[in-house]
Amino acid sequence: MATEIKENGVNKQFAVPYYEIPYEKFFQFGMSVDSIVFGYHDDQLKVLLIKRGAAPFQGQLALPGDLVYPNETIEVAAHRILKDLTGIDEHNVEQTKTYSAVDRHPVARVITTGVYSIIDIAKHDPHASAWAEGVYWTSLEDVPQLAFDHDQILKDAVDILRNKVRKEPIGFELLPEKFTLADLQNLYEALLNVKFDKANFRKRILSAKFLKDLNEFQEGVPHRPARLYSFDSDKYDELRANGFSIQI
């Protein structure tokens, strides 16, 4: 290891020789994370927006997001921030893209990473807290102009979600433990904003073999009760390990 030159406890040798810009300037970025939380309920796909209660863009709708703490990863920050602003706790996030336009934040140089997740609206009860003045589940077609570059961030996230959904079982956590094929079809139709033929959807899903037939049936419906299934994640992992991938 080469000799280390330390200043304020920070080794700067690796950067110094090649830049004319003062060293400190390289370490003045703010990092933020913006969550695209998709929600599903009653066959509808929505996105969670907050009303900003602080400048900039005070009063305007935005994706829930904020600055990353110095000792956090993006993913940890996403979890904390979403909980702070909306009370929503549990969610598995995945990155979309990182946005670094120099003027994307009107106040400081802030680079942001988008992360998305899908949750069951019925299982969560968001409420505005911290500097959020309101939280709203909004249908995609009703989303108004958002703060910052959040329009673009949301658009990109929708694209990524729809691509993902077609390639692997996603969103089983959005259905009850036991669900019917019609439930599953409704979920996919809401996520993708398309309609499938019922008979063919059934064939395709069943041929993928990651559903467990529970040999139970719906009750209390005013028509022929449907068969209940559950998601067989062991089977799915096994299929996946063998390089298998479905196509919806």
Partner DNA sequence: AATACTTATAGTCATTTGTACAATTAGTTC
Partner DNA sequence: GAACTAATTGTACAAATGACTATAAGTATT
Q: Which long-range contacts (CB under 8 A, 24 or more apart) does 161-167 make?
A: 161/38, 161/116, 161/118, 161/191, 162/191, 162/192, 162/193, 165/191, 165/192, 165/248, 166/192, 166/247, 166/248, 167/245, 167/246, 167/247, 167/248
Number of residues that bind DNA (CB under 7 A): 20
Considering only residues 35 through 64, tell me which ones interact with its own copies, judged by CB under 8 A: 54-56, 58
Dist. CA 178–CA 235, nearest whole Å: 16
How near is the Cβ of 221 to DNA at its closest, in Å?
7
Residue 227 site contact among DNA, its own copies, none (CB < 5 to 8 Å, cut-off depends on kind)? DNA
Dist. CA 109–CA 103, nearest whole Å: 7
- The reply to whether 92 sits near its own copies by the rule CB under 8 A is no
- The reply to whether 233 sits near its own copies by the rule CB under 8 A is no
Dist. CA 12–CA 92, nearest whole Å: 36
- The reply to whether 75 sits near its own copies by the rule CB under 8 A is yes
Total Cβ atoms within 10 A of residue 114? 27
- The reply to whether 204 sits near DNA by the rule CB under 7 A is yes
- The reply to whether 242 sits near DNA by the rule CB under 7 A is no
Residue 74 site contact among its own copies, DNA, none (CB < 5 to 8 Å, cut-off depends on kind)? its own copies
Binding-site member from 90, 197, 216, 238 for DNA (CB under 7 A): 197
- The reply to whether 241 sits near its own copies by the rule CB under 8 A is no
How buried is residue 204: exposed, middle or buried, by Cβ count under 10 Å (0-12/13-18/19+)?
middle
Residue 111 site contact among DNA, its own copies, none (CB < 5 to 8 Å, cut-off depends on kind)? its own copies
Residue 127 site contact among its own copies, DNA, none (CB < 5 to 8 Å, cut-off depends on kind)? none
Residue 214 site contact among DNA, its own copies, none (CB < 5 to 8 Å, cut-off depends on kind)? none
Binding-site member from 9, 22, 222, 243 for DNA (CB under 7 A): 222
- The reply to whether 172 sits near its own copies by the rule CB under 8 A is no
- The reply to whether 69 sits near its own copies by the rule CB under 8 A is yes
Dist. CA 51–CA 54, nearest whole Å: 9
H helix intervals, 101-228: 150-165, 181-192, 198-208
Nearer Cβ to DNA (204/212): 204
- The reply to whether 225 sits near DNA by the rule CB under 7 A is yes
Dist. CA 182–CA 63, nearest whole Å: 31
Largest Cα–Cα distance of the chain, in whole Å? 79
Residue 98 site contact among DNA, its own copies, none (CB < 5 to 8 Å, cut-off depends on kind)? its own copies
- The reply to whether 199 sits near its own copies by the rule CB under 8 A is no
Dist. CA 21–CA 28, nearest whole Å: 12
Binding site for DNA (CB under 7 A): 180-182, 197-200, 202-204, 207, 217, 221-227, 247
